[in-house]
Amino acid sequence: MDRITTSTLNRYKREGRKFAALTAYDASFAAAFAEQGVPVLLIGDSLGMVLNGDEDTLKVTVEDVAYHTRAVSKGAPKALVIADMPFMSYATPEQAFDSAATLMRAGAQMVKLEGGDWLLDTVRGLTQRSVPVCAHLGLTPQSVHVFGGFKVQGRGDDAGKAILDQALRLQDAGAAMLVLECVPTELARTVTEALSIPVIGIGAGPHTDGQILVMHDLFGITSGYIPKFAKNYLAQTNSLQAAVAAFVEEVEHGRFPGPEHCFN
């Protein structure tokens, strides 16, 4: 796999080429994912739930994410490595700059932040300081207690328009990528078509530029609640490598997600 950069993903979008992404937390899995052609790896604060057994992502620290970022970046040196900014690590622009510096020094090529208009100055400041930003709208897990649970966002004309408007403003502020999580399929299509930057979906239907899953959901080893948008690829293959290859192939050819994984 050639080195993947933001320019690579921008070219994919212009060409209409869909791409796969996965969460990763260590060097071994990162290497295995890259070998199967996964171009984008996210060190998600989901590690709090899938690795540490917490009920949400709120206990994860910048140091936690930096530790796993160092491992992933060594295992997959040619992938685009994105690091999540954990809960309350970017409450002010200055705090965001410090947190991002730690994660970039650990090996990230981009940081991801959850939220809309309140982050515009932070996104501008990070971009001006040479830190690429992935924005995250829709269901933002760090806001789980505000939402009252893990619920689909953007239903209804007003809520959908609010997400679209925020996405455009984040792009204008300098965001280089957007994750849309748990939003209606048609809203995700509208946002993806309106933006010039790549949009990665999770529970956002088949029309986004890329698709991401938590690796544990891909392998069907998530304990407890299994999201509607997840698919157990290990159940239909005979190895971890084959499961990843099947995910990449289905995403690239537009076969994942299917209607059963989408929200109306």
Residues flagged as binding site? 45-46, 84, 112, 114
130-166 burial: b if 16+ Cβ within 10 Å, else e: ebbbbbbbbbbbbebeeeeeeebbbeeeeebebbbeb
To the query of whether residue 94 is one of the catalytic residues in this protein, the response is: no
Residue 101 C-alpha from the chain's centroid? 19
How far apart CA 125 and CA 173 sit, in angstroms, is 9
Helices (H) and strands (E) in the chain, counts: 11, 8
- Please identify which of the residues 63, 94, 181, 260 carries the catalytic annotation: 181
Closest listed residue to residue 99, CA positions, set 52, 88, 47, 136: 88
Encoding tokens for residue 127? 């971009």
Closest listed residue to residue 111, CA positions, set 139, 131, 141: 131
How far apart CA 173 and CA 150 sit, in angstroms, is 28
List CB contacts of 175: < 8 A, sequence separation 6 or more. Answer: 123, 127, 133, 134, 135, 197
Closest listed residue to residue 83, CA positions, set 97, 67, 94: 67
| Percent of the chain that is helix, strand, coil (3-state, to 5) | 45, 15, 40
Active site residue ranges: 181
